[in-house]
Amino acid sequence: MKFVKKEFNDTLEIKKSKFIAYLSPYSDFKTLMQRLKDEHPKARHFVYAYRYLNEFDQVVENSSDDGEPKGTSGRPSLNVLNGADIINSAVIIIRYFGGIKLGTGGLVKAYSDAVNLVCSNAQFFEYKKLTTKDIIIDYNQLGKVEYQLNNLNIKIINKTFDSNVKLTLQATQEELDLFKI
């Protein structure tokens, strides 16, 4: 699975209709939609699709045709995200109608092509499920442990100094399994 960390956009023109696709992290979806509606007040349709992992590691997905004929825009856009194994990301496609009707097949192809175009130019990162783990070490072990964690790309997200040192670590389970004190 893969995801984007920032916003990307691209434009596709088909029979005088303009399709402007924006791909962004799912966390930015609502603010991006509001911004695009403010920036494009004359656009006819704001079609969207998104996929994200919830707290139970289940994929949640949704889409909207936003006034286009049922099943011709939102679902095909979602299918592109699903087929490319993209999660924690959202796509919004703005359509300016060019006066020529595309038909249902034409709309499915246009929206799918617009999402494929923005995805082909986006930078993706591999999704890894992160786990946190607390460890307690002696002060004299701290330097050695930090060096080992750095080499394993395990992130220290918190340090508490008491009679011992408590480190809160974050990494994939596989990376944490490689770590030995």
3-class DSSP state of 151: helix
Residues 137 and 43: their CA atoms lie apart, in Å, by: 59
Residue 180 pLDDT class (50, 70, 90 cuts): confident
Q: Give tens-digit pLDDT for 120-177.
A: 999 998 888 888 888 898 888 888 888 988 888 888 889 999 899 999 988 887 888 8
Distances from the Cα of 5 to the Cα of 26, 52, 126, angstroms? 9, 13, 11
Q: In what order do the strands lie in the sheet with 131-137?
A: 131-137, 165-171, 155-161
